[in-house]
A and B are shown apart, each in its own frame.
Chain A
Amino acid sequence: GKNEYDLLVIGGGSGGLACAKEAAQFGRKVAVMDYVEPSPQGTSWGIGGTCVNVGCIPKKLMHQAALLGSALKDAQRYGWNISQPVHHTWSVMAQGVQNYVKSLNWGHRVQLQEKKVKYFNIKGRFSDPHTVRGLTKAGKETVVTADNIVIATGGRPKYPVHVAGALEYGITSDDLFWLKESPGKTLPNFILYVSLECAGFLTGIGLDTTVMMRSVPLRGFDQASHLSKKKQFFFTTQQQMASLVTEHMESYGTKFLKRCFPTKVEKLKNNRLQVTWKNADLDREETDSFDTVMWAVGRAPDTKTLNLEAVGVKTNSETGKIIVDASEATSVPHIYAVGDITEGRPELTPTAIAAGKLLAQRLFGQSSELMDYDNVPTTVFTPLEYGCVGLSEEAAVQRHGSDNIEVYHAYYKPLEFTVAERDATQCYMKMVCLREREQRILGLHFIGPNAGEVIQGFALGIKCGATYPQMMKTVGIHPTCAEEVTKLHITKRSGLDATVTGC
């Protein structure tokens, strides 16, 4: 018989909702299925996916809370008389953040309604290529059929299951943002930027935070082996930038336990947690107690319960992610996938949204435009932010050879740090260019305040094929941090001091 819907989207996150809403614009009959399996600690949330509920949004807001803590310190130097000491109350912040997130959940529900997209709060699984079944919370079975199905179920944090007590006593980012009470003395176990960002803002609001990492920041393929080749480059080769970021965090108060890996987590009588780990450098076991242990050891694609095998959707055997082609099509006709669930794509909200929209336009809007995954800008919101677009230095060297690459770089000091007497040692930027002919810019990397705001416009430039001469022709805006990009002229090759001096 005829399928009930033109499009069914499984997963109401950044990619899924963007795709569904776009398809609805073309007057199609669209349904969205969204379901949040509670975390092992019991945390759950509304529609909107990772970004809105347990990702970008609450992360940036808590990052802002931490930045405001620094602003309070700066303010005194700028003449504001604030009585010391200043305290931070987790629950006030958490409530503010959670209320805002809930307003976004609400906003999405309203939008779906306005666009006449049917919303099912059920956990779906495929029974055939055009049919998805699921049980509502109340236990009622629902069957949905559709001509086209888009899988956008995203990912969930992994647990280090080989560590005793990890699952019972540890939390993840899924839980952190919904804690009603302060996490206290926290140990985020590190692999990716998630851990650094969380450790960063936890330190910023005054909590005793320690980051434990298996090896020195982002070095070594073992930590990145579950990532695609493309992402491996990004993470394993950003050594210079990563070490600047973590150096800053260390000077800012975050403790780092390098080359350590946890062996067990136990609960103490006073409800605190005892963590035991192996210190690889000293070759001995160490232990300490914490209020909270947070795991940030990577995210796993949420495909287990979809029953993909039954319909033949192929996944990558190593990562578990769904394999798609340039048009987001899976191995099964009429079944597509977008967002974090797809193999070889950046795990970012804006790319999921863009890909979802373009997919809907191709399916229902007679468009043939494919998603361009090149030169996607990103930002890591650590206390000192890191924004980048294009190739890392190492990737550029690998692709073109070090003789054909020129790296311009500079250490600079944001004007606002001067009166505040803040340390700008790690404020740094570098531009990776081709050496020959028009000297096209391959990549731009910036560490400093408001890194995202700085990088965004330059990403546009790179999309337009910006060259080094064009950058030099662009007049700077004074006084900003971003203007230093237009003034980069010291090369790494020259070995000269790259510190910016005066106006």
Chain B
Amino acid sequence: SVQAHKEEDGPQKTMEVNRFTPVPASYDYDLIVIGGGSGGLAAAKEAAKYEKKVMVLDFVTPTPQGSSWGLGGTCVNVGCIPKKLMHQAALLGQALQDSRKFGWQFTEEVKHNWMTMTESVQNYIGSLNWGYRVALRDTKVTYENAYGEFVGPHTIKATNKKGIEKLYTAERFIIATGERPRYLGIPGDKEYCISSDDLFSLPYCPGKTLVVGASYVALECAGFLAGLGLDVTVMVRSILLRGFDQDMANRIGEYMKEHGVNFIRKFVPIKVERVEEGTPGILKVTAKSTAGEQIIEGEYNTVLLAIGRDPCTRKIGLDKVGVNINEKTGKIPVNDAEQTNVPYIYAIGDILQDKLELTPVAIQAGRLLVRRLYAGATTKCDYVNVPTTVFTPLEYGACGYSEETAVEKFGEENIEVYHSHFWPLEWTVPSRDNNKCYAKIICNIQDNERVIGFHVLGPNAGEVTQGFAAAIKCGLTKEQLDSTVGIHPVCAEV
């Protein structure tokens, strides 16, 4: 970044800060990170290693239902961690069923206690929040539980819970404020519906639930709620898992349907009303077809909205410092060094435009960015071939191109798709589905049959996919895949 030194009138005057940054007087901090989530904390801790004076501002605006949480961001509090634990609870429910066939005996009816699970999960999360506080303290990173917003060049205002405001200046900033769930904008949505922000700490069992949305959040939540024995319906406007390989997405949906999740396709809610008070109460949902005039109604204990997430970038004063955002989406465009259009302001994590919304990506980006800033490193974050896993009842791991995208980019005649169904050995004895687990790899014929896409649907998909992602990073070809011996008997050998 180029810094032109010029006499300036003062920090309050709004100016074209990408060309006329003020003469650096001594700043309060070398680096202020706004947002104490996966990306923000990783960056802050890394910067502290290089003995920089760092501050982290983290603040959680309570949800319409009043839910809030501690330091750590989405992943730790209302994302990956509680999600995977509740998914595990659901998997254990299935394991209970399987175990009878493997000789285990216990009472016929086994019920699940939501409060026991949620309490354990929240206790664990609490320990993580605490761990982060300690880690920041140990690395001498200043942490304030306050809402940060820009008020002028190099200057931020931090407002805490009590409304007390403080001003801080820093040489550089990293915006890592992440996202929050979107609401439908229909009557009753904020009053009566919950989101993933509320679900993982819900102090009562959600009961009969309507999940609105077809994102991975919607399907993962619907999946584990059904696995715990609840009556779950998913209302989908159009397709499942937009952006993912659609063949795999449909298989996931089919599996969920066969295992007790109801789907209402091509409808959107237009009104939510409360019929009965209680925890949970009874809500009435009115929905309209997207393909005509049909209206349907349904009653549920809980309505969970999972229709998408919006970046927390509209109310942090970006206009005061001239940081461009995509007006429609709220996302921040950055160059390949995570720099915004304002040279001393960077951004990482879910708020970035055209980047993957994943914890490990945010962490990687944050660390590498800081190393470039303070340790003379040049390595940039590699966003190519980032593996992901969707933790639906039948897990889906993927790395690289979806089949559609590969066809689009390379042409159908230039790609070869190898695929196979498989039956996990552990599913044989309990007679679980023998034609649901599936794997496919997409190869680029013109490039030595290089593996450009990997997709697997089955148990432990994340564990399976991770190693393949490393291999794809090494330029794996079909020939090398064929010449690698399998471990027997595991799912991954397929």
Contacts and interface: CB of A to CB of B under 8 A. Distances in A.
A149 interface: no
Given A470-B473, A475-B386, A89 B485 contact: no
B26 interface: no
B64 interface: no
Contacts of A460: 467-468, 470-471, 476, 480-481, 484
Given A419-B85, A466-B474, A502 B128 contact: yes
B209 interface: no
B75 interface: yes
Given A93-B103, A350-B485, A453 B469 contact: no
Contacts of B93: 75, 80
A51 interface: yes
Given A349-B488, A419-B120, A475 B382 contact: yes
B426 A61 contact: yes
Contacts of B41: 503
B460 interface: yes
Nearest to A99: B429
A97, A350, A419 — which one has the most chain B CB atoms within 10 A of its CB? A419
A305 to B, nearest CB: 28
A74 B92 contact: yes
Contacts of A80: 89, 92-93, 96, 110-113
Contacts of B117: 78-79, 419
Given A64-B102, A86-B106, A88-B104, A482 B466 contact: yes
B375 interface: no
Given A75-B93, A90-B103, A415-B81, A378 B487 contact: yes
B16 interface: no
Interface string A60-73: 11001100110110
Contacts of A466: 470-471, 473-474
A480 interface: yes
B38 to A, nearest CB: 6
B101 A92 contact: yes
A348 B493 CA distance: 13
B84, B92, B228, B460 — which one has the most chain A CB atoms within 10 A of its CB? B92
B276 to A, nearest CB: 25
B95 A477 contact: no
Contact of A83 (B106, B131, B480): B106
B115, B118, B360, B361 — which one has the most chain A CB atoms within 10 A of its CB? B360
A318 interface: no
B485 A348 contact: yes
A356 to B, nearest CB: 12
Contacts of B377: none
A475 B397 contact: no
B324 to A, nearest CB: 27
Interface in B107-160: 107, 110-118, 120-121, 124, 128, 131-132, 135
A465 B484 CA distance: 12
A205 B121 CA distance: 28
Given A86-B105, A88-B104, A503-B359, A485 B466 contact: yes
A61 B103 CA distance: 11
A74, A93, A476 — which one has the most chain B CB atoms within 10 A of its CB? A476
Given A92-B101, A372-B483, A478-B75, A453 B470 contact: no
Dominant secondary structure of chain A at its interface with chain B = helix
A473 B367 CA distance: 12
Contacts of B364: 475
B118 to A, nearest CB: 8
A481 interface: yes
A93 B102 contact: yes
A417 to B, nearest CB: 10
B490 A456 contact: yes
B462 A471 contact: no
Interface in B18-65: 38, 41
Contact of B92 (A69, A78, A97, A470): A78
A68 B95 contact: yes
A309 B28 CA distance: 87
B81 to A, nearest CB: 6
Contacts, number: 298
A407 interface: no
A57 B492 contact: no
B80 A87 contact: no
B465 interface: yes
B473 A377 contact: no
A136 interface: no
A279 interface: no
Contacts of A419: 85, 88-89, 117, 120-121, 124
B72 interface: yes
A354 interface: yes
B96 A75 contact: yes
B470 A485 contact: yes
B103 A457 contact: no
A480 B474 contact: no
B76 A503 contact: yes
Contacts of A68: 95, 98-99, 102, 104
Dominant secondary structure of chain B at its interface with chain A = helix
A328 B93 CA distance: 48
Contacts of B95: 68, 71-72, 75
Given A78-B120, A80-B112, A461-B467, A455 B85 contact: no
Nearest to B97: A68
Contact of B466 (A69, A454, A501): A454
A477 B484 contact: no
Contacts of A310: none
B165 interface: no
A79 to B, nearest CB: 3
Contacts of B85: 78, 415-416, 418-419
B184 interface: no
A19 to B, nearest CB: 16
A477 B387 contact: yes
A46 interface: no
A376 B358 CA distance: 32
A72 B360 contact: no
Contacts of A453: 460, 463-464, 490-492
A415 B75 CA distance: 13
B93, B103, B113, B425 — which one has the most chain A CB atoms within 10 A of its CB? B103
Given A418-B85, A419-B121, A100 B428 contact: yes
A474 interface: yes
B103 A480 contact: no
B418 to A, nearest CB: 14
A455 B99 contact: no
B462 A482 contact: yes
Contact of B389 (A56, A81, A470, A477): A477
Interface string B193-232: 0000000000000000000000000000000000010000
Given A475-B364, A479-B80, A79 B475 contact: no
Given A477-B397, A482-B466, A79 B228 contact: yes
Contacts of B124: 418-419
Interface in B362-382: 363-364, 382
Interface string B59-87: 00000000000001001100011001100
Interface of B: 38, 41, 72, 75-76, 80-81, 84-85, 88-89, 92-93, 95-96, 98-107, 110-118, 120-121, 124, 128, 131-132, 135, 228, 358-361, 363-364, 382, 385-389, 397, 425-426, 428-430, 460, 462-471, 473-477, 480-481, 483-493
19 contacts: A69-B99, A75-B93, A80-B111, A81-B113, A97-B429, A100-B429, A348-B488, A351-B485, A419-B117, A450-B490, A454-B464, A456-B464, A457-B469, A458-B467, A463-B471, A467-B474, A475-B382, A477-B388, A478-B359
Given A92-B100, A454-B466, 20 more contacts: A65-B104, A71-B95, A72-B96, A74-B92, A79-B117, A87-B104, A87-B106, A88-B103, A90-B103, A418-B85, A453-B463, A456-B467, A458-B471, A459-B467, A461-B476, A463-B484, A475-B360, A477-B387, A478-B360, A485-B470
